[in-house]
């Protein structure tokens, strides 16, 4: 009989890097892939270790592909945290992709996550909580155990409004992204 208390919550952290926000908001500075991982990850790992907590880190494949992040992501895995797939390009309009495009996003991210952390992800969270039937089919085909792309809150429309008020997007880009942050 285990003396460990049963978990009462599931905690996760989306490792959306600075470049992904710049890209989503139409800022060309994203192309230099600016990162706050070196500042953020050691602090988060120390915080979690001090509380004996393990969580799921949803990692963007582009960040796993960067050599400068390899040691930091290995430290996340070595500390016992689950590594989840958060797509390769972190485009919140992933729900508009074809199944082949979604499959490529997941496969490319898996390749880098396995190579860097040794973990094959079993969980997925869509960027901007984007999800579609095509995404779910691809996840099932690839053997994922769960999708965490749900954001059950009233805040989705508010997040979408804020995004459109502040992003540097054309009318066509705004129309394409009209279902960001849930529907």
| Per-residue pLDDT at 53 | 95
Q: Which domains does the chain have, with CATH numbers?
A: 12-152 (3.20.20.370)
Vertex 125, ends 27 and 103: CA angle to 5°? 85
Q: What are phi and psi of 147, to 5 degrees?
A: -120, 130
- Measured torsion, CA atoms of residues 5, 152, 23, 119, in degrees rounded to the nearest 10: 30
Q: Tell me how far the alpha carbon of residue 182 is from its chain's centroid.
A: 15
| Residue among 136, 131, 141 at smallest CA distance from 95 | 131
For residue 146, what are the CA distances in angstroms to 25, 70, 91, 108? Answer: 29, 25, 20, 19
So what's the pLDDT on residue 115? 98
Cα 74 to Cα 118: distance, rounded to the nearest angstrom? 8
Residue 144: what pLDDT? 98
What is the pTM for the complete model shown?
0.82
Residue with tokens 């309009």: 93
Looking at residue 87, its pLDDT comes to 96
CA-to-CA dists, residue 42 to 73, 112, 120, 121, angstroms? 10, 21, 22, 22
Distance CA 130, CA 182 (A): 6
Written as tens digits, the pLDDT of the chain (183 aa) is 567 777 778 899 999 888 888 888 788 888 888 788 899 999 999 999 999 999 999 999 999 999 999 999 999 999 999 999 999 999 888 988 999 999 999 999 999 999 999 999 999 999 988 889 999 999 999 999 999 987 666 666 777 777 777 777 777 877 776 666 654
């Amino acid at each position: 009989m285990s003396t460990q208390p049963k978990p009462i919550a599931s905690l996760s952290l989306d490792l959306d890097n600075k470049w992904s926000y710049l890209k989503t908001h139409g800022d060309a500075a994203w192309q230099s892939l600016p990162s706050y991982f070196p500042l953020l990850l050691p602090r988060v790992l120390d915080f979690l270790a001090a509380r004996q907590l393990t969580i799921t880190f949803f990692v963007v494949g582009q960040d796993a592909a960067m050599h400068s992040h390899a040691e930091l992501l290995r430290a996340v895995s070595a500390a016992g945290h689950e590594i989840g797939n958060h797509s390769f390009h972190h485009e919140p309009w992933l729900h508009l992709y074809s199944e082949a495009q979604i499959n490529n996003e997941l496969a490319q991210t898996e390749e880098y996550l396995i190579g860097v952390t040794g973990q094959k992800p079993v969980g997925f969270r869509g960027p901007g909580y984007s999800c579609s039937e095509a995404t779910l089919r691809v996840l099932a085909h690839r053997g994922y155990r769960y999708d965490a792309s749900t954001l059950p809150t009233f805040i989705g429309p508010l997040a979408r409004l804020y995004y459109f008020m502040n992003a540097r997007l054309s009318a066509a880009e705004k129309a394409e992204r009209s279902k960001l942050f849930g529907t």
